[in-house]
Amino acid sequence: MSATAFSHRTVLLDEAVAALSIRPDGTYVDCTFGRGGHSRRILAALGPEGRLVAFDKDPEAIAVGEALSREDSRFSLVHNGFAAFDEELDRLGIAAVDGVLMDLGISSPQIDDGRRGFSFRFDAPLDMRMDTSRGCTAAEWLATAEEADIWEVIKTYGEERFARKIAAAIVAQRAVSPITTTRELALLVGQNVRTREPGQDPATRTFQAIRIFINRELDELRDVLPQAARRLSPGGRLAVISFHSLEDRIVKQFLREASTTDTLPSWVAVRASDMPEAPLKLAGKAVKPSEEEVRDNARARSAIMRVAERTRGAWREVAA
C-alpha cells in the first residue's frame, strides 16, 4: 500500500504555525514531519530566502517528504529521529534557527495501517517501530525481555495498575508459544485487566507503553529539548504539542526550569535588573484544540501545546 493511502489530520495546525511567529527569511525545524501538514503551512509563510528542515523516522513519511523536497528547494528532509538534532543541523551547516516545532506521539497513518502493529484494532504482526528499517520489533522484545523489565515498562509508560499481572502472563504465554500478533497481545492483556476504564479498551495502556519503549519516545524528547532550545536565535520560538501526560510533564518541567531565573540567597543584595536573564521565557498559556477541532478530529482531544521564546540570556544546561 502506498505511503499516501492513509490520511493524517494535523492537530493545532493554525495555532502551532502562528506560535512560531514566522519570519519570511527565517530558518525553521519541524521535528516530526508526519504527512507534512505543519511543514507545508510553514513553507507557505516563508519567503524565497527562508528555510525549513524536517525530521522523521518513518520511511513512509520520508517518501511523502521526498516528493516535497523535490518540489521546494527551501525544504530539507532528514531520515532520523529528532534526538539527532544537533548532529543533523551541523551536517547541514545550520548554526542557529528561528523556530522549532514538535508534534509528538503517533500519527494517524501509523495507527490506521494495521501492518504497522501499533493498534489492537487489527490482527497484524506485532511491530510498533516508527522506523521499520532499524531496531527490534515489539514481538522480538517481548520474546526475550525479563519479566521485571516488561512490568517496569508497562507500569511506567502505560501507568497500568495491572502491569505486574500482565507481565507475568506474557512470560507464561511465551513459554508455550511466542506472542507475534497484535491480537494475541490484546487478548492476553484483556484477560488480565480486571477493571476497564469507560470507553477504553483494556489493552490501550499496555500498547501505549510498549510503543513508547520500543521507539524511545520519552528518552528522545528529553534529549532534543535542550538541543532545540540552545539552537534558537534570540526571539526564536519553541512550540511542542504533546498528547499524553508523560510527554507533557517532561515539556512543562523543562520549559519551567529554562524560563526561571537563578535564585540567590536572601542575604545577597542584588537588584532584579542585575540578575542574569533566563534563557527562555514562556509565550502565553498552554493551548488546547477548540471544541470544533475535537468534534472534527477526536484524536485531537488530548493535545496540548506549550510555547517558549529564546531570550538574550546566556544558555545554561537544563535537564529535561
Domain boundaries, the chain: 13-108+217-310, 132-214
Cα(167)–Cα(191) distance, rounded to whole angstroms? 12
If one counts every other C-beta atom within 10 angstroms of the C-beta of residue 27, the result is 23
Class of domain 13-108+217-310: alpha beta
Per-residue pLDDT at 239: 98
CATH superfamily of 132-214: Putative methyltransferase TM0872, insert domain (1.10.150.170)
Q: Is the pLDDT of residue 126 over 90?
A: yes
* CB 255 within 8 Å of CB 306: yes
* Element of type H or E holding 29: strand 27-30
At 311 the three-state DSSP class reads coil
Matching residue, cell 501499533 = 118
Confidence of residue 115 (pLDDT cuts 50, 70, 90): confident
Nearest Cα residue to 303 out of 288, 292, 316: 288
Per-residue pLDDT at 275: 67
Alpha-helical segments (H) within the chain: 13-19, 37-45, 59-71, 85-91, 108-112, 138-144, 147-158, 163-176, 182-190, 204-214, 217-231, 245-258, 291-296
- pLDDT > 70: what percent of the chain? 91
pLDDT tens string 84-97: 999 999 999 999 99
Bind-site residues: 36-38, 56, 82, 103, 110
Question: Is the model's pTM score more than 0.75?
Answer: yes
pLDDT tens string 203-240: 999 999 999 999 999 999 999 999 999 999 999 999 99
Angle at 154 between CA 185 and CA 205, to 5 degrees: 65
Bind-site residues for S-adenosyl-L-methionine: 36-38, 56, 82, 103, 110
